[in-house]
Amino acid sequence: MAEREDIKTRSRRINPKVAAIGEAIEKALMENGFHYSVILTEDMTPEEEEMAFFESYLKEGYSSNEAEQKAKKSADLMRKAFGY
């Protein structure tokens, strides 16, 4: 059976400078509250994106007020980081 290639390993092999930039961006996002557990698609509205973050924070055990605040911050950060 074929195995999935690790995209980070492949990126480092092809272009280490670009891989380093990607890792720096990833680190900055994680330090500011961005979560991997949230899957967003291009057809989601801003409200749906925030709801995805909100649900993730609720699952982590945050109160609904905390989850709502963190979701807004994460969605705003994601929009700023990816320019939309």
pTM for the whole thing? 0.63
In three-state secondary structure terms, 2 is coil
**Residues 31-79: pLDDT tens digits?**
776 666 788 888 999 999 999 999 988 988 999 999 999 999 888 888 8
Strand, helix or coil for residue 28: helix
Taking a C-beta distance cutoff of 8 angstroms, is the pair 49, 40 a contact?
Answer: yes
How far is residue 55's CA from residue 2's CA, in Å, rounded to a whole number? 34
- Spatial distance between the Cα atoms of 84 and 62, rounded to a whole number of angstroms: 27
CA dist 55 to 39, 45, 72, Å?
11, 15, 12
